[in-house]
């Protein structure tokens, strides 16, 4: 039985009928005629696997054609692409070198101490192992330290102490000078928890010594503010004890006068002994209160630190930012991709206009 002929006669199988989109391949139909005819026969005979492979080949061919078209556009536009890319690289390098100053990084690392260490019960415990505590603070203590590090009070204090408005080159008489100073400081300041549970304070500045000084002083200021928070409630207790002791002293003085008057008036011995017993009990209570007051005053003393510094900040040996090489590479790649996209869009726009 003769094979159906390829052509446009009635009942004939054409390349366009077997290969959708084949008309878009000028000059290639003759190369596909044989394969199309066989595929059509296989399709009419019920072989769908061959047709599926044919569709896969078509998709691969289209992808290949897209890649070829992209390479063609790239070669056609190579001069403007190269020129713009080189200009972007040189311009970015010059800008980063002359207009982006070096910034030096200094960091201080420390662990918060456990506030329980300064508690009265711990300081005056008489039994070994009576209270089990950790020497270093926990998550709540780290969070409290980080909260203090990010407060406006802390930032404003550092800005004022080191005259950062003038240091950053802003006119302090301007309305937005303070706002800009704070924004720039926040950009060059970081307080985070490390992966080991410590707190790290980092400062960047054009002056390496100033960056180191600020980092260390921020840690010291955090320590002082943290101590104030811890001792605040203790000071309230101390004031309460002082008021209570004053009342007890007045009561004891009054009771002592009563005893003296009883003795002078010749009252009964039982009455005098009763008053003296009451006085001794009151005096013992007063002495206990005085002892507790002394213990709380010791506990609330500022002669302790709430942080344990593991690494102080030192002036950096080399600058930390900007990383000019990455800036130049990023700008160069960006310019290249921009020009490539512009070339593709322009070429396709021309084709669309020609078809219209």
Mean pLDDT by 10 residues, the chain (356 residues): 43 48 48 52 52 57 65 85 91 85 93 74 59 72 93 95 94 90 95 93 95 96 88 82 86 84 77 82 85 78 82 90 87 91 83 64
The reported pLDDT for the residue numbered 36 is 53
CB 185 within 8 A of CB 172: no
**Cα–Cα distance measured from residue 41 to residue 53, given in angstroms and rounded to the nearest whole number:** 14
Interatomic CA distance for residues 218 and 155, integer angstroms: 9
Query: Is the CB of residue 201 less than 8 Å from the CB of residue 105?
Result: no
Distance CA 327, CA 332 (A): 9
Residues 6 or more apart in contact with residue 190 via CB below 8 angstroms: 200, 201, 202
**Element (H or E) spanning 320, and its range?**
none
Distance separating the N- and C-terminal Cα atoms of the chain: 48
Supply the pLDDT for residue 266.
74
Q: What pLDDT, on the 0 to 100 scale, is given for residue 178? A: 93
Q: pTM of the prediction?
A: 0.64
CA-nearest of 249, 271, 244 to 258 is 271
Phi-psi region of 163 (alpha: psi -120 to 50; beta: other; left: phi over 0): left
User: What does the pLDDT read at residue 28?
Assistant: 47
Cα–Cα distances (Å) from 24 to 65, 88, 126, 132, in that order, read 11, 39, 96, 84
Neighbouring CB atoms inside 10 A of 213's CB total 18
pLDDT of residue 157: 95
């Amino acid at each position: 039985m003769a094979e159906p002929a390829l052509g446009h006669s009635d009942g004939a199988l054409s390349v366009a009928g077997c290969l959708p989109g084949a008309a878009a391949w000028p000059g290639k139909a003759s190369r596909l005629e044989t394969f199309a005819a066989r595929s059509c026969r296989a399709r009419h005979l019920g072989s769908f696997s061959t047709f599926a492979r044919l569709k896969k080949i078509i998709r691969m061919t289209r992808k290949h054609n897209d890649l070829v078209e992209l390479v063609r556009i790239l070669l056609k536009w190579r001069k403007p692409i190269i020129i713009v890319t080189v200009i972007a690289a040189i311009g970015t390098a010059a800008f980063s070198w002359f207009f982006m100053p070096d910034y030096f990084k200094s960091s201080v690392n420390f662990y918060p101490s456990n506030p329980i260490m300064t508690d009265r019960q711990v300081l005056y415990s008489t039994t070994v192992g009576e209270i089990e505590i950790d020497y270093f603070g926990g998550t709540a203590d780290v969070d409290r330290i980080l909260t203090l590090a990010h407060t406006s009070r802390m930032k404003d204090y550092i800005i004022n102490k080191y005259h950062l408005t003038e240091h950053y080159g802003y006119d302090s008489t301007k309305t937005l000078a303070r706002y800009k100073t704070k924004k720039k400081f926040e950009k060059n300041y970081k307080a985070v928890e490390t992966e080991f549970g410590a707190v790290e304070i980092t400062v960047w500045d054009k002056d390496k010594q100033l960056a180191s000084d600020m980092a260390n002083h921020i840690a010291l200021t955090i320590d002082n503010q943290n101590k104030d928070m811890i001792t605040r409630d203790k000071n309230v207790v101390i004031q309460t004890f002082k008021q209570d002791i004053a009342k007890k002293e007045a009561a004891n003085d009054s009771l002592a006068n009563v005893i003296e008057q009883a003795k002078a008036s010749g009252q009964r011995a039982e009455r005098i002994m009763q008053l003296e017993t009451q006085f001794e009990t009151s005096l013992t209570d007063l002495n206990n209160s005085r002892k507790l007051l002394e213990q709380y005053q010791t506990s609330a003393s500022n002669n302790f630190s709430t942080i344990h510094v593991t690494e102080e900040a030192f002036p950096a040996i080399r600058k930390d930012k900007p990383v000019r090489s990455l800036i130049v590479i990023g700008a160069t790649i960006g310019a290249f991709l921009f020009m490539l996209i512009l070339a593709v869009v322009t070429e396709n726009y021309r084709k669309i206009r020609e078809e219209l």
